[in-house]
Amino acid sequence: MEPTYGDYEVSTVEGIETLQQELVKINNMSDYSDVVEAVSDLLMNGHDGSSGYLSFGNNKIAKSTAIFNMNSATDCPNADTSENEQSDTGACQVPWESCYAHKAEYMYPNALPKRRRQEYLWDNLDAHTFAKAFLRVVERKRSTVDTIRFSESGDFRHESDIIKVNSIAKILNNHDIDVYTYSASHKLDWSYATHFTVNQSNGLADYGDRLFTALPKGSDLPDGMVWCAYDISDGERKCGECKLCINKEGPDVAIELH
């Protein structure tokens, strides 16, 4: 599917009406603790026709890390860009045809509508409610959750996304929850990201907390750069167990280009 850069008809997204009805119900609640509980339900369990809007871990990420997408790869502001063909926000270092997040959206028919509903949810929740609902999810889960990663697919669209994640992180940091992301939106003002860790995934500007880049296996690394622990442990050590990209302090990271 061709990139849309966010220009798509929301009303055509599968399941959007059900999500909208859930949000109307939530907006009509008079007790804020009911609001938080209902949003935590959406994040954890979803609604009719949708699984929860948070996921926990994947092949590379430990289950103690929650993942929330602010948008899809198809709608990513940096989709199908490069150093020579940049978008208004940035430039992706991964060729469009190799983008895993985009591949998932045409291989699994539920992936794109779900991510679009995540974007809708993101745009319709304030930072305080998102953070409080997330903390409620952490309380309700049987297993430990100590980290949240934003944007497994897509990227930051504008400074409001940065400010909102930062407001959430300010609240979550007080509960020992780490917040991190990767972004190729190098043209945005990242000085707002004071409370979460930003891995800069292109080398076109100096932003965020470290460079995160892909290099051919066996390359000599520049000073101050280390290989990704997942790659060099053959998948034994997952993100979350390794905190190199989660901590603000620490070296630049290279993943192996296959």
Chain residues in the site for ligand SF4 (CB under 6 A):
228-230, 237, 239, 242, 244-246, 253
**Closer residue to ligand SF4 (CB): 74 or 213:** 213
SS3 100: helix
Distance of closest approach, residue 98 Cβ to ligand SF4, in angstroms:
17
d(CA 233, CA 219): 17
d(CA 43, CA 47): 9
Strand partners, 68: 150
Distance of closest approach, residue 253 Cβ to ligand SF4, in angstroms:
5
**Closer residue to ligand SF4 (CB): 127 or 255:** 255
Q: What is the DSSP letter of 254?
A: E
**Closer residue to ligand SF4 (CB): 101 or 121:** 101
**Closer residue to ligand SF4 (CB): 101 or 228:** 228
Distance of closest approach, residue 144 Cβ to ligand SF4, in angstroms:
17
Q: Which residues contact 63 (CB under 8 A, 6 or more apart)?
A: 56, 57, 143, 240
Distance of closest approach, residue 214 Cβ to ligand SF4, in angstroms:
11
**Closer residue to ligand SF4 (CB): 163 or 215:** 215
Distance of closest approach, residue 240 Cβ to ligand SF4, in angstroms:
7
Strands laid side by side in the 225-227 sheet: 55-56, 65-68, 147-150, 178-183, 197-200, 210-216, 252-257, 225-227
